């Protein structure tokens, strides 16, 4: 049985309690690994290490930071097959999503490497005679990063590489369901790439103990910024805690992401885009297409083709190369999804295919919903496609915006002018025209609106993890009033 430790101040250490917890394989139900279960004392040690490393790391030259980040990308690329296997066994990611994460994540290191020289300032006008006004952009200090299990590797890397590129240090807490893919693996890469001790510290905890870590990170004054990707409920709780301590937090939260299929759409394109958008990683991505809103005049043809394609997606063991739909992350998530499907059918939803469950594996399921059904307003984390039929394109737009969430969206239409008009009105942080709602580039300013969060990543992460300061210099003595 593999055993994994915490990574604090450049050392692999056991929990101060000596406890380990079982990290489970969601497909087999067997223990994948034994993982150190951190205590509050361990979290404080990680913050100590990050705080001590900050004055040293901020002075490391941009070129040296860039070299380390690029080296980390190269190390990760050499481990792609190994990491894809970890993602399959630990998180249930089937081949397409496991390989996407393993192959795309190095680009986040490279994007961060490209931004090391962006921590720059400018000269601004000054009213005072003989004065030079300057704007300095500086790293803030320690950043607390909390990442999820669903895209364990990619989202954990994204949570730390941008703050670190700007000269900050990090304490990373990954999900109890993905400690190896989302924590240990990343620490190994940082260590091999030569990052100084304390720049990255990785805390792992068992089920039910994440709140303890969040409480410490949000309350410790040395942690100057927070970033969190996960559920809206937890994000709201962390935001309140940060607000009490006047601490800024970058949040990417849940979504009920719509894709609009308008009457002039290329239906085959629409089927491919929405099927990919809904079923990738068995629907466990915040940007998955959660609601497919189709104009009535093409609904029958679209639904027939969509259901036919959904039925071809193979379910089962994520380790097999032809599997598309692997398991949900655990029994709790599976039970929740099963209850959502049951309630929707009781409320009158039409089941077009699927609905079956084998352990944590669900068949690809297609439901025709009405707007007033619970499932039309809820986030579904599983391979369930919710289709709503609208009388017009304006009705498609209204239904799309009738949600508390606002993360991502898609529009399928041949009318590009209308698509651009609607993209402007859609209340989502990103919108993809003639494409799936599921998309993420390392440089893109990904982030949500409404209950889907606040703050941006990619090129705009610098605004989340640096401080702007105004500094003046008198070139000659000034006249004072007294």
Whether the pLDDT of residue 60 is over 90: the answer is: yes
What angle, rounded to 10 degrees, do the helices at 152-165 and 80-91 form? 120
Helix (H) or strand (E) holding 467: strand 466-474
> What is the rounded CA–CA span in Å between residue 295 and residue 9?
56
Q: If you search the block for the tokens 């690809």, which residue do you land on?
A: 364
> What is the rounded CA–CA span in Å between residue 369 and residue 282?
20
Sequence-distant (6+) residues with CB within 8 A of 128 are 472, 474, 478
Cβ contact 467:168 at 8 Å = no
Domains of the chain in start order, with CATH, are 3-253+452-470 (3.40.605.10), 258-433 (3.40.309.10)
Cβ contact 383:365 at 8 Å = yes
Distances in whole angstroms, Cα of residue 1 to Cα of each of 37, 243, 304: 16, 42, 47
> What is the rounded CA–CA span in Å between residue 447 and residue 408?
8
Q: What percent of the chain has pLDDT over 70?
A: 100
For the four alpha carbons of 439, 333, 450 and 176, in that order, the dihedral sign comes to negative
pLDDT score recorded for residue 271: 98
> What is the rounded CA–CA span in Å between residue 351 and residue 307?
10
pLDDT tens-place string over residues 358-394: 999 999 999 999 999 999 999 999 999 999 999 999 9
pLDDT score recorded for residue 1: 81
pLDDT tens-place string over residues 172-185: 999 999 999 999 99
Helix (H) or strand (E) holding 307: helix 296-310
pLDDT confidence bin for 450, thresholds 50/70/90:
very high
Cα 415 to the chain's mean position, in Å? 31
DSSP conformation class of 31: E
> What is the rounded CA–CA span in Å between residue 405 and residue 1?
41
| 143: Cα within 13 Å, side-chain hemisphere | 33
Whether the pLDDT of residue 88 is over 90: the answer is: yes
Rg, Å, the chain Cα set: 24
* Catalytic-labelled residue, pool 242, 286, 315, 431: 286
Distances in whole angstroms, Cα of residue 199 to Cα of each of 58, 191, 269, 321: 10, 10, 45, 37
| Mean pLDDT within 279-290 | 96
pLDDT tens-place string over residues 297-314: 999 999 999 999 999 999
Query: β-strands 365-369, 384-390: how paired?
Result: parallel
What is the DSSP track for 320-339? STT--B---SSHHHHHHHHH
pLDDT score recorded for residue 308: 98
Whether the pLDDT of residue 467 is over 90: the answer is: yes
DSSP conformation class of 26: T
Active site residue 252: yes
pLDDT tens-place string over residues 7-33: 999 999 999 999 999 999 999 999 999
| Mean pLDDT within 470-480 | 94
Sequence-distant (6+) residues with CB within 8 A of 365 are 310, 341, 351, 353, 354, 355, 383, 384, 385
Sequence-distant (6+) residues with CB within 8 A of 262 are 295, 393, 396, 411, 412, 413, 415, 418
Q: For residue 481, count CB atoms less than 10 angstroms from its CB and return exposed for 0-12, middle for 13-18, buried for 19 or more.
A: exposed
Tally of CB atoms within 10 A around 452: 28
Average pLDDT over the chain reads 97
**Where does 1-128 have alpha helices with state H?**
40-57, 62-78, 80-91, 95-114
> What is the rounded CA–CA span in Å between residue 188 and residue 413?
45
Whether the pLDDT of residue 466 is over 90: the answer is: yes
> What is the rounded CA–CA span in Å between residue 185 and residue 49?
20
pLDDT score recorded for residue 2: 93
pLDDT tens-place string over residues 137-163: 999 999 999 999 999 999 999 999 999
Cβ contact 116:64 at 8 Å = no
pTM of the entire predicted model: 0.96
* Catalytic-labelled residue, pool 111, 176, 188, 252: 252
Tally of CB atoms within 10 A around 13: 15
Between the two ends of the chain, the Cα-to-Cα distance in Å is 76
Active site residue 170: no
Q: Which structure tokens are listed for 240?
A: 């309140």
DSSP conformation class of 183: I
3-state secondary structure of 461: coil
For the four alpha carbons of 36, 93, 187 and 175, in that order, the dihedral sign comes to negative
């Amino acid at each position: 049985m593999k055993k994994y430790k915490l990574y604090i101040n450049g050392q692999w250490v056991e929990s101060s309690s000596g406890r380990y917890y079982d990290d489970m394989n969601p497909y087999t139900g067997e223990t994948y690994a034994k993982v150190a279960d951190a205590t509050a004392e361990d979290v404080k040690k990680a913050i100590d290490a990050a705080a001590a490393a900050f004055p040293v790391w901020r002075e490391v030259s941009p070129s040296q930071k860039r070299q380390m980040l690029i080296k980390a990308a190269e190390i990760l690329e050499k481990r792609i097959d190994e990491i894809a296997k970890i993602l399959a066994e630990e998180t249930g990611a089937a081949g397409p999503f496991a390989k996407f994460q393993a192959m795309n994540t190095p680009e986040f290191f490279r994007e961060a490497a490209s931004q090391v020289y962006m921590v720059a300032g400018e000269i601004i006008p000054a009213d005072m005679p003989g004065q030079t006004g300057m704007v300095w952009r500086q790293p803030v200090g320690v950043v607390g990063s909390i990442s999820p299990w669903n895209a364990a590797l990619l989202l954990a890397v994204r949570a730390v590489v941008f703050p670190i590129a700007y000269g900050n240090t990090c304490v990373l807490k990954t999900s109890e369901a993905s400690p190896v893919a989302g924590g240990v693996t990343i620490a190994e890469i940082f260590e091999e790439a030569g990052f100084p001790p304390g720049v990255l510290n990785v805390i792992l905890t068992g089920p039910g103990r994440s709140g303890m870590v969040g409480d410490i990170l949000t309350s410790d004054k040395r942690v100057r910024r927070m970033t969190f990707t996960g559920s809206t409920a937890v994000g709201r709780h962390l935001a309140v805690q940060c607000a009490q301590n006047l601490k800024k937090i970058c949040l990417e939260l849940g979504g009920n992401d719509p894709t609009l299929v308008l009457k002039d759409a290329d239906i085959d394109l629409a089927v491919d885009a929405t099927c990919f958008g809904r079923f990738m990683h068995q629907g466990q991505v915040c940007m998955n297409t959660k609601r497919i809103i189709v104009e009535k005049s093409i609904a029958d043809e679209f639904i027939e083709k969509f259901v036919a394609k959904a039925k071809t997606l193979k379910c089962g063991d994520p380790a097999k190369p032809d599997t598309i739909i692997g398991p949900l992350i655990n029994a709790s998530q599976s039970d929740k999804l099963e209850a959502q499907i049951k309630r929707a059918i009781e409320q009158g939803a039409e089941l077009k295919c699927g609905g079956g469950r084998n352990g944590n594996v669900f068949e690809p399921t297609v439901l025709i919903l009405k707007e007033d059904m619970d499932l039309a307003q809820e986030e579904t984390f599983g391979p369930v496609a919710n289709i709503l039929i609208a009388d017009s394109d304006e009705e498609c737009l209204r239904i799309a915006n009738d949600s508390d969430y606002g993360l991502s969206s898609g529009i399928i239409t041949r009318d590009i002018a209308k698509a651009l008009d609607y993209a402007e009105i859609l209340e989502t942080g990103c919108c993809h025209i003639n494409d799936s709602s599921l998309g993420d580039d390392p440089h893109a300013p990904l982030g949500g609106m409404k209950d889907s969060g606040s703050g941006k990543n990619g090129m705009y992460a610098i605004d989340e993890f640096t401080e702007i300061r105004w500094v003046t210099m008198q070139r000659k003595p000034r006249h004072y009033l007294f």
